[in-house]
Structure 1
Amino acid sequence: MPALYHLSRESLLPNNFQVIGIGRRIHEGQEFIQQMQHRVRQYCSHNMEQRYWKPLARKMMSIKNDFKNIDTYTSILNIIGELEKEWKNSANILFYLATSPSHFLSIIKQLADHNLNVQNKSKWTRIIVEKPFGLDSISAKALHEQISKYFNTSQIFNIDHFLGKEAVQNILTFRMSNIMFQPLWNKNYIEQIQIISAETIGVEGRVGFFEQTGAVRDMIQSHLIQILALLTMEHPASLEAEDIRKEKLKLLRSIRKYSIHEAGEYSIRGQYKEGVVNSELECKYTDEIGINEKSRVETYAAIKLFIDNERWEGVPIYLRTGKRMSRRTSEIFIQLKRTEGSTIPTNMKKQTPIANTIRLVIQPRASVELTIGWKPIGLITDVEPTNLQFGIKPDIKEPKAYERLLVDSMNGDSTLFINYEEIIEMWKIVDPIVQNWYLDNKKIENGKLVENLYYYPAGTWGPREANILIEKDSNKWSRL
């Protein structure tokens, strides 16, 4: 709803527009509008103004009913029919499934049974599906097959809100439109790549969801691997959706797929214990409301990947994510190789060369930071690391990810959405890791369960064992 408010504020919604909220426990009438107003006040990036809110509020209504009840879909049909009479035009329809994945198939089938999936030359019908897209490659394939029975590919928009973030959209611009970086974007110049997404929050009311997914399925399988694809794919023939998708898919297929038994060597998982986050004492994961005290679901995951193609052969890529971390951030860290031999001035050869780095911050606020070597003023000849920072000006409001993605879905632009083939390739990367952990959950030695789930205090950067994953390559986690 905050995204819709911002779009309305910027006059980016059509004049004939209606929001219909549907749910079993949803409020009705004025209570529904007040609830949505509260959400806008709570989450919008601007101060909410009545002159922008009131026109949107007049275009909002709700249907309180169960997704399984046929009357729900009859009500939708009746409302659309009345709107089309009022507008004297066919209504374009966008369904947004902000529900548990367990409801997807029954909702989609009911929509089709009531001809709510039909589109023609005078109107379009589209459906937005939230992640997770299944829980593994098998369930993702089954979900796609079922959805495809009722909606064609052009109607399905698989949404990953990370792809709507300003900094993520800027990845291609940064690496492809700046001549100073283009020649460096390969194994000859880049030593390592790290992509991280850290949160200070816990499960925040998403217990059922998170117990099913864990950190690697929730964050790495979707957000981080998509960022990796944009960061490392070949230049597309154009910036059209199909050309970008083609290169992303080619890259995803080049990522090395581990066997179940070797996956443990390239991954670490952890779970937070009691600790202090933002000056507040937080309980351990298994003391959160609704969590089984014996749960071994990971709240932290770190994996090492390789891309087996000519451009990136041998470059280690580290992805990590965690909950109840020291601070909230999502960023990309790229370390370039150090200068060698004749390129170093004679009087500086005893000093370890400075490693140039590139840091692309995605959130909380988009920015770029470059680290270069620089001799300080004076007679000292040592080289010091110096940071150059660029970012969005403080007085500029950064567009929210959902604003861009909602507009794109209404315009039929699928560039920032994920297609089925990408989803399957991402699961092929993650499946062996999850299966390895599942096998280890059952491994007993000397009458005891083998512990491959490591613990870290809330408010830190993860388990100490994660350092081993990167330090055996003589690398270190980037400072955050």
Structure 2
Amino acid sequence: MSDIGVDGWANPLRSPADRRLPRIAGPSGLVIFGVTGDLSRKKLMPAVYDLANRGLLPPGFSLIGFARREWEHQDFAQIVHDSVREHARTPFRKEVWRQLSEGMRFVPGDFGDDEAFKKLRETVDELDVTRGTSGNYAFYLSVPPKFFPQVVRQLKKHGLSDAPEGSWRRAVIEKPFGHDLASAKELNQVVHEVFPPDQVFRIDHYLGKETVQNILALRFANQMFEPIWNRSFVDHVQITMAEDIGIGGRAGYYDGIGSARDVIQNHLLQLLALTAMEEPSAFNAESLVTEKLKVLKAATLPADLGRHTVRGQYSAGSQGGEQVIGYLDEDGIDPASKTDTYAAIKLGIDNRRWAGVPFYLRTGKRLGRRVTEIAVVLQRAPHSPFDSTATEELGQNAIVIRVQPDEGVTVRFGSKVPGTSMEIRDVTMDFAYGESFTEESPEAYERLILDVLLGDANLFPRTEEVEESWKILDPIEEYWQKHGRLAHYPAGSWGPVEADQMLAQDGRSWRRP
């Protein structure tokens, strides 16, 4: 994303003093709990290396791994090395690796082991001296949510959460943050007993994606879009996150959670808030949260949850030319499981801008292809001078923000077909990140880890946002538990027919990305 050039809307990746210079973290270290997991191996460790390779980490940056493994420091460094070589975005450079690896340490133990946390405290103190980390540490909880309270209390017990004067200590927490409103509130209370709210960073990696941040640029840096971004011109909005994979090895986490809690409560409601919010007064955490919260608080559920929500579960089918098994046949899944692998809901936003405009959110696994997009579908022209035969294939204008995998924006509109007759057909204009910029987009975790080290909370959901999101989803989950029928769909399709019927009764249909 280039500099936006509107007062108060400079590219947040640029220093306020000089937008040509990247922001660089000061003396600091990162402690990763659950460092042996897939997230750490495939995303966090490579992101740390990529930041170092781009010159965005201080020379003395330190990385501490904590896990139940009998590793020495050099064993951990080798694990990081292998992860970097396999998953890093930037080229491997020996001099960068040598400097980074000198600050790597490993502490073996489990989360209830007091001796392990004493050793962690000693390691932190040692790195302050040998690497000049100045007491600044972020503790990344890449662990199942049930362990969050235990880890943060151990950090408090052993003085690790208490920042020395002039330093900082921060907690980084992965989703899901609770499984309903009550558990989220309880977890918030536990975490805030140890870390101040402004030092708690809840990771939603979607908010670190360039195309998600570009929603703000698209809307507020361009005069052509914002005047029509309202109920007078918009017919409806569709927000889709589709995956073409199954649950993989996540049965222990996924079963009992489901797609609505796993994706809609965080990713999709955040995308909805960014799409529907009013212009913030500035690009800072407080202003963004204020406007997003207004949207979440104004969100309304449909009167008939049976007609306007759908949950489904994939069965066996064909995916990419191969036969794949159904959800109930996946390893580790209870054959009687009612967990949803697909969810679609309709929401309204009760404010002046969006009154009467439906927002349709859907997510699912084993769908037709991997895609995340926001489609703002416009109303049809109020009057057409053309014969119906000339426009019979004409759809509705749409502005589509492609979040992944082909990042960019598509505008769909009608155009005359070359020839002697007046025939109008839908065409598209495409903006693609990969074609328009020479700069390569950083991975979401690069941006988010750097923001944590800088204390920049712009892209991190606050406590109130998490709780408001659960207030939206909880009534739907409760309805599904009591009355909702579990629909089924074959793997490789675009979901259950009930989801198509949900829109058809409104005179609409899902986009096929």
TM-score range, shorter chain: over 0.9
Structure 2: which amino acid aligns with 1:417? F
Alignment equivalent of 1:65, drawn from 109, 116, 120: 109
Residues 135 and 163, structure 2, Cα contact 8 Å, conserved in 1: no
Structure 2: which amino acid aligns with 1:272? Y
Which residue matches 2:24? none
Residues 286 and 293, structure 1, Cα contact 8 Å, conserved in 2: yes
Cα deviation, residue 348, structure 1: 6.8
Q: Which runs of 5+ in 2 are unaligned?
A: 1-44
Alignment equivalent of 1:351, drawn from 374, 391, 398: 391
Question: Per-residue displacement from partner, 1:8-36 (whole Å, max 9, x unpaired)?
Answer: 11011111211001011474433322222
Cα deviation, residue 335, structure 1: 0.8
Cα deviation, residue 88, structure 1: 5.5
Residues 354 and 383, structure 1, Cα contact 8 Å, conserved in 2: no
Matched, 1:155 2:199: yes
* Structure 1 residues 201 and 26: alpha-carbon distance in aligned structure 2, compared to 1, 3 A threshold: farther
Residues 302 and 347, structure 2, Cα contact 8 Å, conserved in 1: no
Cα deviation, residue 55, structure 1: 2.6
- Written as runs of structure 1 = structure 2, the 5 A alignment for 1:244-255 is 244-255=288-299
Distance in 1 of aligned mates of 2:328 and 2:386: 58
Residues 391 and 425, structure 2, Cα contact 8 Å, conserved in 1: no
Structure 2: which amino acid aligns with 1:136? D
Secondary structure at the residue paired with 1:143? helix
Distance in 2 of aligned mates of 1:93 and 1:37: 22
* Structure 1 residues 125 and 389: alpha-carbon distance in aligned structure 2, compared to 1, 3 A threshold: same
Which residue matches 1:31? 75
Distance in 2 of aligned mates of 1:382 and 1:309: 39
Matched, 1:221 2:277: no
Distance in 2 of aligned mates of 1:36 and 1:396: 26
More deviation, 194-203/226-235: 194-203
Distance in 2 of aligned mates of 1:180 and 1:39: 44
* Structure 1 residues 65 and 311: alpha-carbon distance in aligned structure 2, compared to 1, 3 A threshold: same
Structure 2: which amino acid aligns with 1:160? D
Structure 2: which amino acid aligns with 1:403? E
Structure 2: which amino acid aligns with 1:432? P
Which residue matches 1:453? 486
Distance in 1 of aligned mates of 2:387 and 2:254: 56
More deviation, 249-258/97-106: 249-258
- Written as runs of structure 1 = structure 2, the 5 A alignment for 1:321-470 is 321-341=363-383, 344-345=384-385, 351-352=391-392, 354-393=395-434, 396-440=439-483, 452-470=485-503
Cα deviation, residue 399, structure 1: 1.0
Alignment equivalent of 2:357, drawn from 315, 321, 325: 315
Matched, 1:271 2:313: yes
Secondary structure at the residue paired with 1:409? helix
Cα deviation, residue 464, structure 1: 1.3
Residues 103 and 127, structure 2, Cα contact 8 Å, conserved in 1: no
Cα deviation, residue 413, structure 1: 0.8
Cα deviation, residue 47, structure 1: 4.2
Cα deviation, residue 48, structure 1: 3.4
Residues 368 and 391, structure 1, Cα contact 8 Å, conserved in 2: yes
Matched, 1:21 2:65: yes
Matched, 1:112 2:156: yes
Secondary structure at the residue paired with 2:352? coil
Distance in 2 of aligned mates of 1:322 and 1:26: 39
More deviation, 428-437/84-93: 84-93
* Structure 1 residues 212 and 39: alpha-carbon distance in aligned structure 2, compared to 1, 3 A threshold: farther
Residues 62 and 133, structure 2, Cα contact 8 Å, conserved in 1: no
Residues 264 and 433, structure 1, Cα contact 8 Å, conserved in 2: no
Secondary structure at the residue paired with 1:462? coil
Structure 2: which amino acid aligns with 1:426? S
Alignment equivalent of 1:124, drawn from 164, 168, 173: 168
More deviation, 264-273/84-93: 84-93
Residues 273 and 458, structure 1, Cα contact 8 Å, conserved in 2: yes
Structure 2: which amino acid aligns with 1:142? E
Structure 2: which amino acid aligns with 1:147? V
Residues 26 and 62, structure 1, Cα contact 8 Å, conserved in 2: no
Q: RMSD of aligned C-alpha atoms? A: 1.8
Residues 98 and 130, structure 1, Cα contact 8 Å, conserved in 2: yes
Q: Which runs of 5+ in 1 are unaligned?
A: 442-451
Matched, 1:8 2:52: yes
Residues 175 and 182, structure 1, Cα contact 8 Å, conserved in 2: yes
Distance in 2 of aligned mates of 1:271 and 1:239: 40
Distance in 1 of aligned mates of 2:140 and 2:460: 14
Structure 2: which amino acid aligns with 1:113? K
* Structure 1 residues 346 and 321: alpha-carbon distance in aligned structure 2, compared to 1, 3 A threshold: closer
Which residue matches 1:446? none
Secondary structure at the residue paired with 1:455? strand
Secondary structure at the residue paired with 1:414? coil
Cα deviation, residue 459, structure 1: 1.1
Distance in 2 of aligned mates of 1:376 and 1:365: 27
Distance in 2 of aligned mates of 1:289 and 1:133: 25
Which residue matches 2:506? 473
Structure 2: which amino acid aligns with 1:146? V
Question: Per-residue displacement from partner, 1:305-361 (whole Å, max 9, x unpaired)?
Answer: 1111111011111100011112111111111011122xx335679635542111110
Residues 61 and 131, structure 2, Cα contact 8 Å, conserved in 1: no
* Structure 1 residues 268 and 387: alpha-carbon distance in aligned structure 2, compared to 1, 3 A threshold: same
Give aligned pairs, total: 466
Normalising by structure 1, we get a TM-score of 0.93
Distance in 1 of aligned mates of 2:72 and 2:491: 40
Cα deviation, residue 57, structure 1: 2.5
Cα deviation, residue 120, structure 1: 4.7
Structure 2: which amino acid aligns with 1:94? A
Secondary structure at the residue paired with 1:390? strand
- Written as runs of structure 1 = structure 2, the 5 A alignment for 1:20-99 is 20-25=64-69, 27-87=71-131, 90-99=134-143
Normalising by structure 2, we get a TM-score of 0.87
Secondary structure at the residue paired with 1:306? strand
More deviation, 78-87/242-251: 78-87
Structure 2: which amino acid aligns with 1:422? E
Which residue matches 1:445? none
Secondary structure at the residue paired with 2:255? helix
Question: Per-residue displacement from partner, 1:384-409 (whole Å, max 9, x unpaired)?
Answer: 11110011125653211011111111
Percent of aligned positions with the same letter in both sequences? 40
- Written as runs of structure 1 = structure 2, the 5 A alignment for 1:230-245 is 230-245=274-289
Secondary structure at the residue paired with 1:154? helix
Which residue matches 1:449? none
* Structure 1 residues 280 and 50: alpha-carbon distance in aligned structure 2, compared to 1, 3 A threshold: farther
More deviation, 138-147/84-93: 84-93
* Structure 1 residues 365 and 215: alpha-carbon distance in aligned structure 2, compared to 1, 3 A threshold: same
